[in-house]
Amino acid sequence: DTGVSQNPRHKITKRGQNVTFRCDPISEHNRLYWYRQTLGQGPEFLTYFQNEAQLEKSRLLSDRFSAERPKGSFSTLEIQRTEQGDSAMYLCATGGEGGQGSGKLFFGSGTQLSVL
């Protein structure tokens, strides 16, 4: 158990609906990342927080995607008006002290999204 908790584990939704995923990091970790992974591919970076500050969000896939990390603790990723192409595993990863490119990441078990 890595200590990074993601909820829900699975989400099935209809096209056009909004969905929100939650990530609870390891308590002392100030860096938090969201990735998307599809079958046969590596994790694709979406966005990054250092404490409560969202330092990189240019790679969010569209304006339908948004993320927050109030108070620098848990984070949420919201997808509005879901499309079938959004079906994927959404992974959260956290890391301790250091900047963007330093230190190992601890991944959660992910949220598997299926858009019907």
Partner 1 sequence: GQQVMQIPQYQHVQEGEDFTTYCNSSTTLSNIQWYKQRPGGHPVFLIQLVKSGEVKKQKRLTFQFGEAKKNSSLHITATQTTDVGTYFCAAPGELSFGAGTTVTVRA
Residue 86: DSSP 8-state: G
Point out which span in 13-21, 69-77, 78-86, 96-104 binds partner 1 (CB under 8 A). Answer: 96-104
Measured CA to CA, the distance from residue 69 to residue 77 in angstroms comes to 9
Instruction: Tell me if 30 contacts partner 1 by CB under 8 A.
Output: no
Point out which span in 7-15, 20-28, 33-41, 70-78 binds partner 1 (CB under 8 A). Answer: 33-41
Point out which span in 17-25, 61-69, 80-88, 107-115 binds partner 1 (CB under 8 A). Answer: 107-115
- The CB-of-95 to partner 1 minimum distance in angstroms stands at 9
Residue choice 21, 32, 43, 77 for contact with partner 1 (CB under 8 A): 43
**Binding stretches for partner 1 (CB under 8 A):** 2, 33, 35, 40-45, 48, 56, 59, 91, 93, 100-110
